[in-house]
Amino acid sequence: MGILSLSGGMNIEIETLDGVYPAGNDRALVANAVDHPWLSILVPVYNVQPYVEECLLSILDQLNRPGIELIVLDDNSTDASAALCRHVAAAHTGNIRILHHDDNRGLSAARNTMLEAAKGDYVWFLDSDDTMLPGAIDALYEIALTHCPDVILCDYIREGGKKFPTFSGPSNSLINCTDTLIGGVFSKRRMHAWSRVWKRELFGASIRFPEGACFEDVATIPWLKLKATTFYHVAHPWVYYRSRPGSIMARLSKSRDFDRGRNNDLAGALDGFHDDFARAVPHASKATSAAIGRFLAREFVKIAKRRLRSFSRSDWRAAREDIGRYLATMEASSPLPFSAIASAYLRERKLGRALALRLALAAAVPAPI
């Protein structure tokens, strides 16, 4: 047991379980497999007792080559999650570290703490209620060894075995085009951190997940992709995603109460991205600009629907003013005005999307000055 000192003067209690690490000769990606791993797998844990053992075992069963570290951070769970993590780690040899927050600080803080502690050339965030599918690490290693891309994207499956692609564009080859990467990700609308593996250097000193905010992936992933010049999309699922009834999206979708804080976080998640995108990709394709705009327009429609679902007759004017504020915020981040996107939907005969966006735009009124 020891103390890990991180930037900002924060000390994190850490238990290191150093087992017999495979010696091997497969060191193409690393100089020293323990001190300088090629991959850090980062698993944040908070009150996931029914799922965390399955998650960790799905990773540990694949740690059959040198140069991989597994970092697990317990964000002050109130159930038996932390004890389960220690039990699983104690039963396995390898480069496993258990970190702990003394206070519950949320998913973003947990990811940031692990990122500071990580030593790998690549980092892979995996949520503790999901699992890593067999063969994922071997496939990842071959791609990293052969191509060394800045980011590697994978697909995932959900209950019932249905596959979900995370990228629209060329697959199973190295691509050197930030515009294609941005457009392909926004087209599929998959902004989660766990369906891609990043070079740790992309985060630098400036990119971190926003602490205390919801929709932290939307506020982080696009900026990471702006820094990536090469990528590789694997048209194969590496992650099993579990949709839980108590998730943020499930609560937002079903509740008749309008959660202003969470909707504000979503509306402002891409604040400033339009300008950064224009500087990073000055000759962006029309398709990529349209993909970004459509992503924002569809999220605006969702927020407008949630706000209208919660209004009462006495609240009608206030609801419309709220929608107007969300429109101003989100349209400012879009390369295209939302009215132009609605017209494009009509030309493409996407009548449902066109009508929903038109109605949301019609509901918006400017807030009083």
pLDDT tens, N- to C-terminus, the chain (369 residues): 333 333 333 333 434 333 322 333 343 444 355 578 999 999 999 999 999 999 999 999 999 889 999 999 999 999 999 999 999 999 988 889 999 999 999 999 999 999 999 999 999 999 999 999 999 999 999 999 999 999 999 999 998 889 999 999 999 999 999 999 999 999 999 999 999 999 999 999 999 999 999 999 999 999 999 999 999 999 999 999 998 665 555 555 556 689 999 999 999 999 999 999 999 999 999 999 999 999 999 999 999 999 999 877 668 889 999 999 999 999 999 999 999 999 999 999 999 999 999 999 999 987 665
Q: How far apart are CA 209 and CA 216, in angstroms?
A: 6
In this structure, which amino acid lies at residue 359?
A: L
Give residues with Cβ within 8 angstroms of 68, minimum separation 6: 37, 38, 39, 40, 41, 94, 95, 120, 137
296's tokens: 């924002």
Which of 243, 241, 234 shows the shortest CA–CA distance to 157? 241
Q: How far apart are CA 99 and CA 15, in angstroms?
A: 7
Structure pTM? 0.88
Kindly provide the residue ranges of all beta strands, DSSP E only, lying in 133-188, ordered along the sequence: 151-157, 163-164, 174-175
For 177, the 3-state DSSP assignment is coil
